[in-house]
Structure 1
């Protein structure tokens, strides 16, 4: 079967493969790693696949239509997000119209997984199925021609009724999956100001055992069990990626949390394997701020770890409890001190608008961020995505002010607060995000430290670029 994978554009700079769907202030564009793994799985079954990353390359609707007509697929898989869902479904409609219905249209992604029924109704007959949650083997079943009634993990319409088949069990042995089909992409189409570009993402495990009420992927897509690949399999992929893209400058381990204490022996094996195999590449990872073992941090540094992207979320312990973060501000602070001692940079992620948030807790978070020995930060209004505990709580209490899915982003399609509390208005949340960024980045001491601490030519260039982007952001306000 000929299968077209489509990640449609929703305007230049809009990222559809990150955990939060929007244009970032720095126009970051994340790799389609989960999609690329699904493509590789279908190609292993001898299906002819083509991938259009319209989001990364800003490919227009007209251009996409031309590629579609030239390829004439038997099946189209469309990646959809909350703000872009109506736009995404116009591509499904186009596919059906161009081939007079003789094509199977399937939608994937967190939004469609959480809102399968709404998605099918919105499609108005142009969508055959939603592949819910982890979709690698679900898509393979559809492409193999199996009857929908026999396929787990899909939602579809039959005789005017919407049918939801039982959830498919998660893949336990991730070593069974092939490496992503990266030959369909150009690494230069993807960018992050915090990374050494061109970089590539690598997922060593799926799911997260954290219970954070707002976190989308564990609750909607990949579950609260951390299913991980063997160290040998991970090391093999690193070498494969470097060979495939000789100009690659960095790897980003995109697991929800790469450094879970419970699996620290595996992390050590990966680090030691990188050293033993003499793999020379810088890497970053998503980390939980709980490691208090300086020897482990130094091992990570020796193995090439340059930076950790860390979800601190708040500087108020009560708010952290409301988020079910399961960690204290004191432990977070100790983590950052040890990370600095080990020579690993920390990028801190904070949110405004958590359950119970007040002006007092917001100020506490802003001061906490500025007090930590970290290099960069991002502040965002906490977004309530369908399928999460936070979304359900906000909906039950009528805190969501967005009137439709498009309003999950602002008029520039940038992320914004969409909730309004009695104790903190939506407007106050958005203003607090700006104030937090100014408070962190415009401190004289911070500016001086960044000027004096560049570690390489890349760091100098990245800091200058980041300064320009932040300046543009400030001028827009």
Structure 2
């Protein structure tokens, strides 16, 4: 089992970006940022599975290291969301954190889902590229499971080169997922445009019956539509 750092990378050149699975846009596109639903779900999963973790958002590597020292936290695994518009800066950040901590680094999102092998080949500071829905794969890595054969994962082989495992089957037990743990994040960042009121996401389903060419949802949440029960 690894102490796990869940971290949202800082924004490149002061430009704020949403990095929430299929959503990967600048703040000015919609006038707001979307809350980090997937990191909040990971926090809840790790809490319920008694995996030691620390969540940090939007700070550089030096400040993140200070936070870890202040919490007497030494990670063995670092998990972060990423997206195509920010991939270069995010991977520089992953390299910086890896150098400071010696921890293995893993990233998830549409970019790693679409081109996992290429992502690892282009960015040597990244150890794992997750494919599709990341929660169960992140949990397996945090538990210390071997990457070989772990569904939904691309990783560096010990002898060199990259291995890409088969995708993880879409999970149909959405009701078994805990409620997101929003307490770990600064929710004042996420406000409805025009009105300025705070908002959060409520996930009712995953999957999509359509295959729009412009949308990356089939990369991050593949498979048929799966709905949560009304309960």
- TM (norm. structure 1) is 0.45
Post-superposition offset of 1:120 = 0.6
Structure 2: tracts of 5 or more residues without a match:
none
Q: Aligned residue for 1:192?
A: 192
> Contact between 1:151 and 1:165, CA under 8 Å: does it hold in 2?
yes
CA distance in 1, matches of 2:156, 2:130: 13
Q: Quick one: structure 1 residues 179 and 166, their matched pair in 2 at CA, closer, same or farther if it must change by over 3 Å?
A: same
CA distance in 1, matches of 2:141, 2:29: 38
Q: Deviations over 1:276-319 (max 9, x none)?
A: xxxxxxxxxxxxxxxxxxxxxxxxxxxxxxxxxxxxxxxxxxxx
> Contact between 2:24 and 2:84, CA under 8 Å: does it hold in 1?
no
Q: Quick one: structure 1 residues 195 and 111, their matched pair in 2 at CA, closer, same or farther if it must change by over 3 Å?
A: farther
Q: Which has the larger radius of gyration?
A: 1
Post-superposition offset of 1:87 = 0.8
Q: Aligned residue for 1:154?
A: 153
Q: Quick one: structure 1 residues 81 and 206, their matched pair in 2 at CA, closer, same or farther if it must change by over 3 Å?
A: same
Counterpart of 1:24 (choices 28, 38, 52) is: 28
Q: Aligned residue for 1:9?
A: 10
Q: Aligned residue for 1:205?
A: 205
Post-superposition offset of 1:196 = 6.0
CA distance in 2, matches of 1:26, 1:228: 26
Q: Quick one: structure 1 residues 207 and 62, their matched pair in 2 at CA, closer, same or farther if it must change by over 3 Å?
A: same
Post-superposition offset of 1:5 = 0.8
CA distance in 2, matches of 1:13, 1:143: 29
Q: Deviations over 1:103-139 (max 9, x none)?
A: 1211111111112112111222x22211211011111
CA distance in 2, matches of 1:68, 1:115: 31
- SS of 2:220's equivalent? helix
> Contact between 1:13 and 1:27, CA under 8 Å: does it hold in 2?
no
- SS of 2:148's equivalent? helix
Q: Aligned residue for 1:39?
A: 43
Q: Does 1:81 align with 2:83?
A: yes
CA distance in 1, matches of 2:154, 2:104: 14
CA distance in 2, matches of 1:27, 1:12: 13
CA distance in 1, matches of 2:23, 2:195: 17
Post-superposition offset of 1:15 = 2.3
Q: Aligned residue for 1:444?
A: none
CA distance in 1, matches of 2:195, 2:18: 16
- SS of 1:198's equivalent? coil
CA distance in 2, matches of 1:122, 1:30: 28
Structure (1 or 2) with the greater helix fraction = 1
Q: Quick one: structure 1 residues 198 and 32, their matched pair in 2 at CA, closer, same or farther if it must change by over 3 Å?
A: same
CA distance in 2, matches of 1:164, 1:21: 27
CA distance in 2, matches of 1:26, 1:140: 32
Post-superposition offset of 1:91 = 2.0
CA distance in 2, matches of 1:96, 1:15: 23
Q: Quick one: structure 1 residues 162 and 67, their matched pair in 2 at CA, closer, same or farther if it must change by over 3 Å?
A: same
